[in-house]
Structure 1
């Protein structure tokens, strides 16, 4: 039988999907090995610190994706194009509401205290990046801050509701509504 050799970069997304499905507490080592196809030895080779190290690596992996696909474009690119890109990337990343936000899940369960700094940094940078893009587009900073909080909260709520009701159209409508909200805000906020 051919043996598959994995790199850590291949393993982290696989383990992340187990955490997405079962949560941090529900993802036992036996569940992780069964669902990833990795042996216990391989898991401990990649994550000698156990489940806590797995979670930290997953959060870092997610953060890296958001930095390159969402945060940096919002911070550096033309603001209106970057905001439009954000909607597309978010829809693709969360698979139109079929994929739970693992960082959001970590904020809600028992892992919150263990990873509070990473969770806080993720949500804060997302809101700050979007706020900065809105301000660069000509909107008032305080109003942009409020809209940015509304957008991130709306995305998270849309994900939860879409998953809870098993209706991805909810997430799609949420994104469309938030996009329209931002468009209206910019039309009224920018002279």
Structure 2
């Protein structure tokens, strides 16, 4: 029996293939091997090829972060939104076991191809966190510094956790960052 896919079903499979292989290493043959989806089906859903696939994955990541991280930080109770951010980030990155694909794309030649999406991801995260920190009582300058440190800390913890194959580094780093931001909003 042949599996029938919808475009929305394929995007998470593509994301994992790009996480595993990187953009340059994700040839169409390797993508079909990793996803189990034939080249014809992939081109049916993504006639622009690998670049369109990666763009769709980045848009899907963006939509998740907008819904789960940015919007709550901008609009909800500030302290609750910040606390929820740590939980959601830990879940999304599987306690440090899953790389940040946007961050990975930012580190190689893919950066130029998707510079707008990559830059926007980090700018919106920092701005949303800064907004919540200001509403929680931080001054604008301190909120900017803490927001940058928070996002940098998350990204750095992901890299270190993956490099040392120790997910506890990520979890401990999130806990320390959470305490630092909580202390600044008291």
> Normalising by the residue count of structure 1, what TM-score does the alignment of the two structures yield?
0.96
In the other structure, the counterpart of 1:142 is: 141
In the other structure, the counterpart of 1:98 is: 97
Instruction: Give, in angstroms, the shift of residue 8 of structure 1.
Output: 0.5
> Normalising by the residue count of structure 2, what TM-score does the alignment of the two structures yield?
0.99
In the other structure, the counterpart of 2:74 is: 75
SS of residue matched to 2:17:
helix
Distance 2:164 2:26 in 1: 23
**CA deviation profile, 1:33-84 (whole Å, cap 9, x unmatched):** 0110100001101110011101110100000000000000001100000001
Distance 1:144 1:164 in 2: 30
Distance 2:112 2:95 in 1: 29
In the other structure, the counterpart of 1:60 is: 59
Cα RMSD of the aligned pairs, angstroms, is 0.5
In the other structure, the counterpart of 1:158 is: 157
Instruction: Give, in angstroms, the shift of residue 186 of structure 1.
Output: 1.4
The aligned runs of 1:22-61 (5 Å cut-off) are: 22-61=21-60
Instruction: Give, in angstroms, the shift of residue 136 of structure 1.
Output: 0.8
Distance 2:27 2:170 in 1: 30
Moved over 3 A (4+): none
**CA deviation profile, 1:145-166 (whole Å, cap 9, x unmatched):** 0000000000000000000110
In the other structure, the counterpart of 1:182 is: 181
Distance 1:60 1:180 in 2: 31
Aligned length: 186
SS of residue matched to 1:112:
helix
Instruction: Give, in angstroms, the shift of residue 184 of structure 1.
Output: 1.4
Distance 1:35 1:23 in 2: 13
Distance 2:124 2:141 in 1: 16
Instruction: Give, in angstroms, the shift of residue 185 of structure 1.
Output: 1.4
Q: Which ranges in structure 1 are unaligned for 5 or more consecutive residues?
A: none
Q: Which ranges in structure 2 are unaligned for 5 or more consecutive residues?
A: none
Distance 1:45 1:164 in 2: 37
